[in-house]
Amino acid sequence: MKNLKYILIAFLSVLFLFASCQSSLLNSNSNNLSNNNISFGEFNNEQIIEGRLLVGYENKEAVNKIKELLKGEIYVEIPEIKVVGIKFNGTVKEAYSKLKSLKLEGIKYVEPSFKRDLIDPTPGIIDDTITKNIDGVSEDSLWGLNKIGAKDAWQVATGTHVVVAVVDTPIDAQHPDLQGQFVTGFDPVTGNLIMPDEDYENDKYLGDEHGTHVAGTIAAKKDGKGVVGLAYGAKIMSIPIFQPGYVGDAYVARGIIWAVNHGAQVLSNSWGGGGYSKTLKAAIDYALFNNAVFVAAAGNSHTDQHWHYPSSYPGVIAVAASNARDEVTDFSNHSDTISVAAPGEKILSTVPRSTPAVYGEPYDYWNGTSMATPHVSALAALLKQLHPNATPYQIRKMIENTAVDIDEQGWDHASGFGRIDAAAAVNTTLPTYIGSTRDFYVYSNDGMPLSNVFLSLIRKSGDGGNYYVTTDDGWAGLYNVDPGNYTLILSGPDYLQLDSPIFRPEEATTLIKDITFTNDSTEINLFLDSSFKLDLTFDSTFTGGATLMVEDINYLYSPFYVVNTYSIDEEATNVSFDLSDLSGQFRLFVYRDVTKNASEVSFEGTATINGHPVPVSGLIPYGKSKGFVEDNRFVGQVDPGLIPWTLF
């Protein structure tokens, strides 16, 4: 009800503006949470690369102002998603506090560049009880390929004419089982092209074990020697993002976009880490929009989480690791964003010619979701050969719908829809539903777009994954979300963030509602709302009464700063006020006319914010007129009235 009221009031306010009428109605509702619309990306407890900031812009001119203020330089530009990387001397924290003083039009967000890791594999120990055929390197000895029905799948497709980007370390492209399997790749840091079969790591030692192992599972040659990839008819595009350390989210975004622009139809990502990057999400959305399938490893830390990126972004096929007994491995991460499981234990594949390996040949057994992921990427390549125009949604559904149910019955956090079955997937029909976009717009009650609000979509049926995003200048877009019934949870913004409009955890609001998605695209407007009740007890009464004053701290120098007043009777010792209808950042104080009463008055009580009690107190000194309503946690820490109360 309140939302409707505020929309109406906002509309009326515009009318009053045109009438040049400074009414109290306009006065009380012209408040804003902030004049500065820059959203600062969170990095609490996350590892970041210092001296680097990523800036998402609408207007490139504004980027120059940030660059000048930080005395920095632009080190990477990604015009497709309107992002630049700026490097500067100093820490990200220092840069944030400098930037907070800027009022900039045309900047969508500023965020750190997170550190991410290769998902470390562990060399596997050959265990004949589960891999009894393995007695050497042989194309017939690959238990994973046998398990998922590779030979039957190859009757239908081998990945011909499909390009799979291996976003990983460089690759030993002259490995005898990989040579000839490449198209031109791209170094996103230097901008250099990597020629097909160029041993890119040879010039500067970069460490190419991981990418070489992944590449072999996707497209090692079927030549009767060594191993064979599930999509041996496909071509590999090398996008090295570990050189040897992680090159940063901006370079990775550049690499992803280059790959998509140059023909990659599938991107295989066996890496990840914490930290929600808006830049990375924009690059992945770009891939999905351009019909490229994005596959990512769920991680090897055996935790149950959905803050591992890129695997937890909506639309990504997140891959868990299973073993030869169709159990999920003990290292594989669990998550409510897992799509499928694939063989990821004791996986035999190519390693660089320079690396010591089994049987004296450049092959080795590794464990990891890193090894499971290329099985799924290769399967996506087989499906892309069969259905060149299929959307990433259709490819994902064919893989999920044909997976063999393992672990708990039905969809589960360990294996998602189950272990992939390549033979079944290539024989299934293309789903008619191609996927659609879900756009959410999130505002405060007075129409201010809210950034860094967490939006969760929890599937009611429990027969599939959930989706998590944060808003970016009031917007959150999700692609490839399944139709069905969901519980939508909006919460935040997070009070710990540097730019947060709130200073207390109690002020973070939550909106929970049911939502149903059909096959059509969806556009939904959401308003965050909060409740605020104030109960105060005075130690003595006021002669001539007093007033509770509400002032908007963002308008202290304008004529409209007094938002509301509530009178207090002269006999009153206990008073209650409900401020829930307000929206903005306020300071609250009790005001009296000093000519009528000059003795000291103190008060204490409770502010109940969104149902959470916060003890408050205040003091009107002898002969003074004002006593601020202070959060007891801040008393003595900061000047009274300095930390605002925020209401949505």
Residues noted as catalytic: 168, 210, 370
Cβ–Cβ < 8 Å for 536, 516: no
Select from 352, 348, 357, 354 the least CA-distant residue to 375: 348
Verify binding: residue 221, Ca ion, rule CB under 5 A: yes
Verify binding: residue 223, Ca ion, rule CB under 5 A: yes
Verify binding: residue 168, Ca ion, rule CB under 5 A: no
Cα 450 to chain centroid distance, Å, stands at 16
Complex with Ca ion: residue 225 or 387, whichever CB lies closer: 225
Verify binding: residue 421, Ca ion, rule CB under 5 A: no
Complex with Ca ion: residue 177 or 199, whichever CB lies closer: 177
CB of 216 to Ca ion, least distance (A): 9
Verify binding: residue 413, Ca ion, rule CB under 5 A: no
Q: Which distant-in-sequence residues (6+ apart) come within 8 Å of 233 by Cβ?
A: 157, 158, 159, 160, 161, 162, 219, 385
Of the candidate spans 3-11, 218-226, 457-465, 481-489, the one that interacts with Ca ion by CB under 5 A turns out to be: 218-226
- Helix 249-261 to helix 278-289 angle (10° resolution) is 10
CB of 410 to Ca ion, least distance (A): 5
Residues present in the chain in total: 648
Backbone φ/ψ region at 92: left (φ over 0), alpha (ψ -120 to 50), beta: alpha
Verify binding: residue 405, Ca ion, rule CB under 5 A: yes
Complex with Ca ion: residue 412 or 552, whichever CB lies closer: 412
Of the candidate spans 398-406, 425-433, 511-519, 550-558, the one that interacts with Ca ion by CB under 5 A turns out to be: 398-406
CB of 638 to Ca ion, least distance (A): 53
CB of 323 to Ca ion, least distance (A): 15
CB of 350 to Ca ion, least distance (A): 9
Q: Which distant-in-sequence residues (6+ apart) come within 8 Å of 637 by Cβ?
A: none
Could you identify the residue written with the tokens 């959410």? 440
Q: Which distant-in-sequence residues (6+ apart) come within 8 Å of 203 by Cβ?
A: none
- Alpha-carbon separation of residue 131 from 151, 194, 300 (angstroms): 18, 37, 22
Q: CA–CA separation, 376 vs 382, rounded Å?
A: 10
CB of 225 to Ca ion, least distance (A): 5
CB of 379 to Ca ion, least distance (A): 18
Determine which helix (DSSP H) or strand (DSSP E) holds 399, and give its type and residue range: helix 392-401
Complex with Ca ion: residue 221 or 375, whichever CB lies closer: 221
Could you identify the residue written with the tokens 């969104």? 610
Of the candidate spans 54-62, 227-235, 243-251, 324-332, the one that interacts with Ca ion by CB under 5 A turns out to be: 227-235
Q: Which distant-in-sequence residues (6+ apart) come within 8 Å of 477 by Cβ?
A: 285, 437, 438, 439, 440, 469
- Alpha-carbon separation of residue 217 from 78, 342, 361, 389 (angstroms): 31, 12, 16, 24
Cβ–Cβ < 8 Å for 39, 110: yes
Select from 471, 465, 468, 432 the least CA-distant residue to 451: 471
**Which one among 111, 168, 400, 407 touches Ca ion, defined by CB under 5 A?**
407
* Closest chain position to Ca ion (CB): 226
Count Cβ neighbours within 10 Å for each residue of 512-523 and write b for 16 or more, e otherwise: eeebebeeeebe
Of the candidate spans 130-138, 217-225, 342-350, 588-596, the one that interacts with Ca ion by CB under 5 A turns out to be: 217-225
* Maximum C-alpha span of the chain: 101
Verify binding: residue 362, Ca ion, rule CB under 5 A: no
CB of 351 to Ca ion, least distance (A): 14
Complex with Ca ion: residue 61 or 140, whichever CB lies closer: 140
Of the candidate spans 274-282, 404-412, 452-460, 635-643, the one that interacts with Ca ion by CB under 5 A turns out to be: 404-412
**DSSP bridge partners of 74:** 86
Select from 397, 444, 562, 607 the least CA-distant residue to 28: 562
Complex with Ca ion: residue 229 or 255, whichever CB lies closer: 229
- Interstrand relation of 484-492 and 340-343 (parallel, antiparallel or unpaired): unpaired
**Which one among 121, 226, 229, 627 touches Ca ion, defined by CB under 5 A?**
226
Verify binding: residue 412, Ca ion, rule CB under 5 A: yes
Of the candidate spans 4-12, 219-227, 483-491, 514-522, the one that interacts with Ca ion by CB under 5 A turns out to be: 219-227
Of the candidate spans 297-305, 338-346, 379-387, 410-418, the one that interacts with Ca ion by CB under 5 A turns out to be: 410-418
Q: Which 277-336 positions form the footprint of Ca ion (CB under 5 A)?
A: none
Complex with Ca ion: residue 111 or 177, whichever CB lies closer: 177
Complex with Ca ion: residue 260 or 320, whichever CB lies closer: 320
Complex with Ca ion: residue 139 or 199, whichever CB lies closer: 139
Tell me the number of residues near Ca ion by CB under 5 A: 9
Q: CA–CA separation, 161 vs 177, rounded Å?
A: 19
Give the x/- contact pattern for Ca ion in 172-211, rule: CB under 5 A: -----x----------------------------------
CB of 642 to Ca ion, least distance (A): 54
CB of 156 to Ca ion, least distance (A): 20
Complex with Ca ion: residue 29 or 181, whichever CB lies closer: 181
**DSSP bridge partners of 585:** 646
Complex with Ca ion: residue 142 or 643, whichever CB lies closer: 142
CB of 71 to Ca ion, least distance (A): 54
Q: Which distant-in-sequence residues (6+ apart) come within 8 Å of 2 by Cβ?
A: 445, 529, 580, 581
SS3 letters across 236-298: EEEEECECCCECCHHHHHHHHHHHHHCCCCEEEECEEECCCCHHHHHHHHHHHHCCCEEEEEC
Q: Which residues bind Ca ion (CB under 5 A)?
A: 177, 221, 223, 225-226, 228, 405, 407, 412
